Structure 1
């Protein structure tokens, strides 16, 4: 059992992180993983979690927290009629398959590899948001199958390896095919549930019985962190939803780019150390 002072520090940091994650879930249609993964990574380090499992634990715990956060955000967006339900129904198999594949990969690669994946993908997505132009279009509507199915599986795979809800990737996909950023954000909230539920199961399996895990962990999921963060995210997610519908498309894109770039820099440095 960790000392009381460590638990209090853990609770304070994660409470603040949960508030930001909830706002991001509503504002950007993401599950908050883009901010929670770095916070978990550094917080687990502060309480003595070893390098061998720290990144894996951050990813799995992030996905566990995304489950209720994404559902709450999705329901709030659906009330506004902005969710593309047809797209979500078409991905009900493809996205979970990709996410489960990610958990299998995570079981056999090092934390450095996972940090490198997180860093590179965050950087690419940030650049896409910063330099986005209305003229950047691959079509006027979403492609049909099998391409749409393969895109869904790829989003599930990459999101599972990054511990995120897939919102950023889906926003890029939908907007380059002519959909509005507001519809993309709303649909991404529902996508988070398709990713986080199988991701949670997969990361529990991937880390089952690992000797380096801290107290209150089942596989690569720390339930103390989950219990501390989820209540805060559920309260703040609707606030982000209201802000999303009040901001312009360009403001949302710049917001995406800023936090993605910061995360990319952080994990690039850690992967090299």
Structure 2
């Protein structure tokens, strides 16, 4: 019993620290705190012997839940600095919302290995992009029409929902590739996080209702205790990250985070490979 109490205390402290780091990164790098929260939750659920069949769904759903208050805090901070492009937000928000809702509903038919594979592949690509010294530029402006106002935002919303991340991880590199100013990309992405998280969480809650082997106090595929512990800290540290984003050159930090993300992606992809070959 004493060991179990010590383990739970250690896990609670770990979740609080995770929330703090995720909040800072959400504001500083525009990558979205979920890119940190999902793998940490995945490992913690493994320590708690949560069934592998639902562990990744719980990690993704819980991460999306924490993004709601964190993105509100981060977006408010960026808005005060005039870093949110309102026209871009209005243009992309409807399709991002629809894509996120679709991703959340799809979690009903995708198993844990599928979600892990999606997270691992995209996280690997994001880590390589972050580690590349020169920003990839493929156009001088964001395209219009069905691609720029349809396919791109819908894909960002859908894949972000399935990964349990906010808008920054995918939208900041995409906007930067079309010569969008980086600070405005980060600020606008913080608002995208809310547009993604709300419908995606609803989808993951609905998908997980009545599913067996979930830990206590879970609402669908959302672990309520884990979500509360994480966002109780991340909502406080997100404005700090936003402030640092306007006063620091984050290149070195991006390299360190890219390495963490690369190793995490490799580990997740390896776990999928080993499970498939077993």
TM-score (norm 1): 0.93
Whole-angstrom distance in 2 between the partners of 1:211 and 1:181: 44
Q: How many residues align?
A: 270
Contact 2:64 2:201 in 1 (8 A): yes
> How much has 1:128 moved relative to structure 2?
1.9
Contact 1:182 1:249 in 2 (8 A): no
Match of 1:155 in 2: 156
Match of 1:137 in 2: 137
The 1:252–1:12 alpha-carbon spacing in structure 2 relative to 1, beyond 3 Å, is closer
Measured against aligned partners, the alpha-carbon deviations of 1:42-98 in whole angstroms (never above 9, x if no partner) come to 111111210000000000000000000011001101111111111111122101111
Contact 2:66 2:231 in 1 (8 A): yes
The 1:179–1:264 alpha-carbon spacing in structure 2 relative to 1, beyond 3 Å, is same
Contact 1:116 1:268 in 2 (8 A): yes
Match of 2:176 in 1: 175
Contact 2:29 2:250 in 1 (8 A): no
Counterparts of 1:1-40 in structure 2 under 5 Å? 4-40=5-41
> How much has 1:265 moved relative to structure 2?
1.8
Whole-angstrom distance in 2 between the partners of 1:143 and 1:256: 30
Whole-angstrom distance in 1 between the partners of 2:213 and 2:144: 45
The 1:253–1:85 alpha-carbon spacing in structure 2 relative to 1, beyond 3 Å, is farther
3-state DSSP class of the match of 1:179? coil
Match of 1:246 in 2: 247
Whole-angstrom distance in 2 between the partners of 1:4 and 1:253: 36
Bigger mean CA deviation after superposition, 234-243 or 248-257: 248-257
| Structure 1 gaps, min length 5 | none
3-state DSSP class of the match of 1:91? helix
Whole-angstrom distance in 2 between the partners of 1:49 and 1:250: 37
Whole-angstrom distance in 2 between the partners of 1:270 and 1:139: 37
The 1:242–1:206 alpha-carbon spacing in structure 2 relative to 1, beyond 3 Å, is same
Whole-angstrom distance in 1 between the partners of 2:152 and 2:253: 23
Computed over aligned residues only, the root mean square deviation of the Cα atoms, in angstroms, reads: 1.7
Match of 2:237 in 1: 236
Measured against aligned partners, the alpha-carbon deviations of 1:175-214 in whole angstroms (never above 9, x if no partner) come to 1111122211111101100000111101000111111111
Whole-angstrom distance in 1 between the partners of 2:74 and 2:125: 25
Whole-angstrom distance in 2 between the partners of 1:200 and 1:255: 30
Whole-angstrom distance in 2 between the partners of 1:70 and 1:260: 21
Contact 2:139 2:178 in 1 (8 A): yes
| Structure 2 gaps, min length 5 | none
